[in-house]
Amino acid sequence: MSEHETPFIRKYIFSEDHKVIGIQFLFVSLLFMIVGGLLAMLVRWKLGFPDQPVPLGTHLPFLAENEGHIGDDVYNMAFSMHGSVMIFLAIIPILAGAFGNFLIPLMIGARDMAFPKLNMLSFWIGVPGGILMASSFFVEGGAAQTGWTSYPPLAAVEAYTGVGTGQNLWIISVLFLGTASIMGAVNYITTIVNMRAPGMYFFRMPLTIWALFITAVLQLMATPVLASALGMLLFDRTLGTHFFAPTGGGQVLLWQHLFWFYSHPAVYIMILPSMGFVSDILATFARKPIFGYKAMAFSIMGIAGLGFIVWGHHMFQSGMNPALGTAFMASTMVIALPSAIKTFNWLGTLWRGQIHYTPAMMNAMAFVSTFVIGGLSGIFMASTPVDIFIHDTYFIVAHIHYVLFGGTLFGIFAAINYWFPKMFGRMLNQTVNTIHFVLTFIFFNLTFFPMHILGMGGHMRRISDPNLYEFLKPWQPWNEFISINAFLLGATQLLFIANFFWSLFKGKKADRNPWRANTLEWVATSPAPHGNWGDQVPTVYRGPYEFSVPGVAEDYLPQSSPATVPGHAPAGAAARA
């Protein structure tokens, strides 16, 4: 713990401190989130105003030679890279990389990760992944144009898209990012299993930790499958193998099976951590124990387990045997159950609470509200016959954004609002972030809800100009409406960015426990030093959600508080005796 003499480069660049690494992940993934968001703006410009050049487009690469208009190939590039950047470089690294790193040791009472060097390596293997993905825009032929799913043969043969190096860089970049994920996952699992503070039994862990733990298991088990598929695709492109090429006896659908065997669990990698954050934040600001703690923990495991046997629901119309479709439909219907259980338990947590409306709480409640929509719309796609019609339409686009923006991103906003004081020792401006929340919630819904209706109208996704189709022409005003709201949604984020950086330097100083919360990270100083705890690692005496305990004067009772409560069972573990 001799950080007095740690040189700058070891303290902030090649750091082994989990908190610094977490913050590194946070900054990099927020940067890529801005990139991904700008790409989305391009996509929405094309759909909302297909005949008009992009403002200032004549000064932009790819658009300049086309007088500021977005060509069909550039459009394909924009949505492909929007999805790829958001998923691989923003959402997964911010959840697992930033919050996983920052929170796991602090919340279980460890001094650091089990393997600090591996942790550092995980970040620094992710960085070239990001650089490769970003640089693919500037090579000849531009970046990948095959969607974030990169289905072969489109993605396997250069002649089909005209994109050579860009697609190769995409594959290599995702390989790097996958490796970083696996390294992180190994570390998180080992740390949580082995390094919990005295008294931190598994069923005393905060749900954030449960969620990050199960997420790490998913990453460890699923990502190698993606890596193998990416390797085969790269070989098909560069070495002349035929894993996915029918001309050489390859199987086109093999890619989809392997890709979705990873990417469906990846959907849960992208939502479970947010579910964990939201559970902790709801309990803290409702000043109430989480409702049904064990049901919540087991439903996380249920989602993760079932998540491995539902991948085929992305392939109902792929030509896969229809009987297999029925099996995947059944498992997909079942996976809706744990999500329903979680939703009802969140509502139960709010019931008869004392709700404090901070920006963190509002974002967490928005998560519940929009996740309900994203979860329920999934049932439409699970139904095989309905999926025939809505598959590859805007109904799917609406669904994925209700889960990944409405769910995950509101969870991330909640988490940043909640843990910012612990990360940086300063408070975010609450007023600005309240305004940011209200506007984001409104524009988010106005952007994405109408997409369900477009999908019901049969509006295909990934088409650049719906006006070519008679049956889609009547939807043009809707597309314009959606685009305007998307721009406003994008602009609203400037508030958040400005507040983030302003508060970083000028925000009010935070004390150790500004939210009067129970979990261990609030025992450490804000920000916590390298090693987290000073001389003594905290001891855990109770569960994480002992709020408003009868007989206790305060409305919270930290996990590390040795106080005994008269006439009350100590553990917060049991759902109810």
Exactly one of 389, 449, 481, 487 binds another protein (CB under 8 A); that residue is 389
Residues 250, 237, 316: CA angle, nearest 5 degrees: 50
Give the nearest distance from C-beta 316 to another protein in angstroms: 8
Structure tokens at 95: 């959840």
Residue (7 or 567) nearer to another protein, CB: 567
- Among positions 118, 124, 235, 465, the unique one binding another protein when judged by CB under 8 A: 465
Please tell me whether residue 196 binds another protein under the rule CB under 8 A.
Answer: no
- State the minimum distance, in angstroms, from the CB of residue 66 to another protein: 13
Mask for 481-520, x = binds another protein (CB under 8 A): ----------------------------------------
Query: Of 215 and 440, which has the nearer Cβ to another protein?
Result: 440
CB of 177 to another protein, least distance (A): 22
Closer of 4 and 576 to another protein (Cβ): 576
Q: Which residue in the set 427, 453, 484, 504 belongs to the binding site for another protein (CB under 8 A)? A: 453
User: Measured between alpha carbons, how far is 164 from 155 in angstroms, rounded to an integer?
Assistant: 10
User: Looking up tokens 């410009």, which residue turns up?
Assistant: 45
Over 95-109, what HEC string results? HHHHHHHHHHHHHHC
By CB under 8 A, residue 322 contacts another protein: yes
Chosen residue from 27, 72, 431, 494 binding another protein by CB under 8 A: 72
Q: Specify burial of residue 241 (Cβ count, 10 A radius: 0-12, 13-18, 19+).
A: middle
Enumerate residues 224-263 that contact another protein by CB under 8 A.
246-247, 250-253
Closest contact distance (angstroms) between CB of 286 and another protein is 6
Comparing CA positions, the residue from 520, 549, 567, 545 lying closest to residue 200 is 520
* Contact between 424 and another protein per CB under 8 A: no
The binding track of 132-171 with respect to another protein, each residue x by CB under 8 A or -, is: -------------xxx---x-xx--x--xxx---------
Q: CA distances (Å), 235 to each of 156, 176, 253, in order?
A: 9, 16, 17
DSSP state for residue 510 in the 8-state scheme: P
Shortest Å, Cβ 444 to another protein: 15
Q: Which pair of tokens denotes residue 211?
A: 């969620």
Q: Of the two residues 16 and 387, which places its CB atom closer to another protein in the complex? A: 387
* Amino acid found at 144: A
Q: Cβ(307)–Cβ(214) under 8 Å? A: no
| Amino acid symbol at 239 | L
Q: Which of residues 515-554 bind another protein (CB under 8 A)?
A: 545, 547-550
Check binding of 385 to another protein (CB under 8 A): yes
CA 421 – CA 407 distance, rounded (Å)? 23
Show the site string, 27-46: x = touches another protein by CB under 8 A, - = not: --------------------
In angstroms, what CA-CA distances link 31 with 5, 18, 37, 57, 91?
30, 20, 10, 22, 11
